[in-house]
Structure 1
Amino acid sequence: MAQFDVVQVSPDGTVVVAGRTAPGSQVELVVDGEVIATADTNRNGEFVFVPDVQLLPGVRELSIAVQSPDVPDRRTASRTVVVLIPDREMLAARVAEPTESLPSEAPIALLVDEQGETVGVIQPSPSMAEPDTVLSLTTVTFDEDGYASITGGGEAGQKVTVYLDNEATGSTIIGENGYWTVRTQHPLAKTGSYKVRIDQTAPDDDTVTERIVTTLIRAGGKLIPAAATVVTVVKGNTLWGISRRHYGRGILYTLIYDSNSYQIADPHWIYPGQKFLIPERN
């Protein structure tokens, strides 16, 4: 069955989607029930969508439909991606600032299973790599047994090795489309912090050409940046108000939502007693 490997949505709604399914399949990208792009898989079963259509602000559901050569019926992948795209025009009006002055925050993208439970977060991670570095970390998702699938980008044909707490947990060769995925050799604890190192090397040489080093925390079934403080919600709090208190600007509430989306069903509704991680503003 098809799976999402990469979903990147820019603030203006431009989207890039990559994934895998059976080789020789025709794949459709479906947004809110409407097909917006089609693609054929390569010999490795990989596909990439770069549709001309921009996603509108708000909550959007992305799914993948597959027509395999050996299965007559069109099938839809069991996992979908839910994307929250902030309405920059609305936010600008609320803070009386021109749209171009607002920070270019990436929309939030969550991987959701058939039961509607969040099983991972998919998001761009520009802060995890140097601007001139090809290597990137974009996605961390978990299966029901706690194994993590770590996905990113890099130079096609190069080797990527992922380390957790300085112990190698898997390696792979970066695909022709510039994407890679490594599944951890062991399940990760339900909660806990991990030092993550990702090295890019030539396939036959251990010399590191690119490297990412970061610390991540697993909380509620996903990994989030460790550099964070914690606040306890009290009566009358809103994400907007918490963001204004900690960052000086309410429109940065998406940073808090992103780090706590596993326990926030709707960003407009938070409840006394909830504990939220407040990531540092990069």
Structure 2
Amino acid sequence: MNVFEAIDYSRRELSQNQFDANIRVGLEAELLLAFVLKQRREWLHTWWDNEIQESSFDELSDCIARRLMGEPLEYIIGKTSFYGEEFYVDKRVLIPRTETEILVEKVLSLITDKRIKYVGEIGIGSGVISIMLALLCPSILINATDISMQAIEVAKINISRFATHSNNLKKRIKLISTDLFEGVDEIPELLISNPPYIANNYPLSKNVLFEPSEALFGGICGDEVIKRVIDFAKSKRISFLACEIGYDQKKSLEAYLSKNTYEAFFYQDLNGLDRGFVAQFRN
């Protein structure tokens, strides 16, 4: 079997999936084969008539079987794209979503406009938010926390991948395993969080259920963790707060922020759904 035939086989197999009608069959077939062959996807189009080894075909078949069981592609190939960069991910962390790139954009503008130097992130996960901010804002220092030590380990992998002598990422991003921001002495000027915000009983698709539940579910209503973040920010009089939220949580969080003396601007995602806020503390 050559590369072309392996791609065709993968497409036919993946088209039988019963968990996602919008699965990108052609793209995923190529990504899985490129992963198995340890090549870039573009290589496949140049060397389409190359024969592949039987062991590689067996590995490809295993990957397809995992995908047909609903396991996310990103976990199978061990990587995902975020803000134009490639990050390592596995089952220990939530897979970064495109919506979170908007949070990064909003925060970047805020850091620039207010000349913020000290940043905190609650729930670093794979590290994509803190790493992108540190790369794009070379003067900031970040304390990033996560309640999951396993997530911290994944963040370390990604920080190491992007760290250079000039950007000094390993020293500029400090990782702490704790609940919220407990035990962190430094009070940031800006606190960021993409916390779990899905209601406990909300029905999720099969592939999403492969992701860590503690990174998905935020409580009975879904916004409980976000409100804890707001409470903490107010208790420390943190000047700026930015969070991603669920599409149906704006009304309750707008009132809660106002009650806690935060003036908030809410933004929408590319589908026009409420997806987050940037807030400023008012004395």
Relative to the length of structure 1, the TM-score reads: 0.28
Relative contact order, higher structure (CA 8 A, sep 6+): 2
Larger radius of gyration: 2
Structure number with higher helix proportion: 2
TM-score normalized by structure 2?
0.28
